[in-house]
Amino acid sequence: MEEVRAKLIQRIKRTSSVESFRFLPEKKIDFIAGQFLQVIFDENNRNNKELNKYLSFSSSPGHDYFEVTKRISESAFSAKLESLKTGDDFLFKASMGACVFKDEYKKIAFLIGGIGITPVISIIEYITGNKINTDVMLFYSNRNEEDIAFKTELDKWRENNLNIKVFYTVTDCQPVNKECIFGRIDKDLLLNKIPDIKERLFFIFGPPKMVEAMENICVEVSSIKENIKTESFIGY
C-alpha cells in the first residue's frame, strides 16, 4: 500500500445527492475491481476520521484515471470533496480490500443497497471491458427511482451483454417504470429470480446494516457461507 497524490480531472453528477470524482494519479496505481482507497484530507493527522475516509473505486482498473463516488452529506469531508476544482490535488492511500472479483468466478450475484453500488460498477466495467465470460445478476435497491445511481451505465452494459441481468427495486413508493420492482430485496425475490442460487458467489457491499440484512437473507437462501463475500461501508 502506498500514498500517492492525484489531481481532479472531472466531476460527474450521478443523482441529486451522489457525485463521482475522477482523478489522475501522479503515478500508476494498481488495484483490483472491488477494492477501495483512503482519501487523506488531513495530512497532519492521519487519525482524523472526519477528514480521512474510505471510498471504493467506482471505475475499473486499466484507465489512466480512477474514479470514486460519494453520497454527499453535510459532513466536513463532503464539503472538502465538493470544494475541489479541476486541477486541485489531494493525497490518497491505496489499494485496500479483499472483497474483489477474480476472473475465474463464473456465476456471481450482487445484493446492493444505495451507495454500495460503487465497487459493483468497478467490477462490471472490468467484466464488460475485458469481455470476461461471467454470468452476473445484480439486485439493486434504492428508496426511489431518482436515487438509482449509475442506471444509464448499468442499462447500457446489460443491453450489450446478455450475461448481465439487473433487477432494480425501490422501497419508498410504487415505481413509475414497470421494470422496477416495488419492495426490498428479500428471500422470495432471490428464490424467484435466481434458478441456480447454490452455484453463485454472492457479493454484498454497503452500509453495515444493509450488509447484515443481505447476508442473513443470503444464508437463508443459499446456506453456503463460503459463497458470500462482504464489505461493510463503516461510517454510514
Cα–Cα distance measured from residue 100 to residue 120, given in angstroms and rounded to the nearest whole number: 10
Exactly one of 13, 49, 143, 187 binds ligand FAD (CB under 6 A); which one?
Answer: 49
For the bound state, the minimum distance from the C-beta of residue 195 to ligand FAD, rounded and expressed in Å, comes to 31
Residue placing its CB nearer to ligand FAD in the complex, 75 or 144: 75
Query: Across-strand partners of 157?
Result: none
| From 7-15, 68-76, 101-109, 176-184, span contacting ligand FAD (CB under 6 A) | 68-76
Query: Residue 67: how many CB atoms within 10 A of its CB?
Result: 22
User: Any idea which residue has 496505481 for its cell?
Assistant: 29
Grid cell at residue 144: 426511489
Query: Across-strand partners of 22?
Result: 10, 67
Q: Which residue is nearest to ligand FAD (CB)?
A: 235
Task: Provide the edge-to-edge strand list for the sheet that holds 89-96.
Answer: 52-56, 36-40, 89-96, 2-13, 18-25, 66-71
| From 6-14, 52-60, 124-132, 210-218, span contacting ligand FAD (CB under 6 A) | 52-60
Angle between helices 151-160 and 117-129 (to 10 degrees): 30
Residue 71 lies near ligand FAD (rule: CB under 6 A): yes
- 81-120 footprint of ligand FAD as x/- string (CB under 6 A): ----------------------------------x--x--
Residue 22 lies near ligand FAD (rule: CB under 6 A): no
Q: Report yes or no: 221 and 190 within 8 Å, Cβ to Cβ.
A: yes
Note the residues at the interface with ligand FAD (CB under 6 A). 36, 49, 53-56, 69-71, 73, 75, 77-78, 115, 118, 231, 233-236
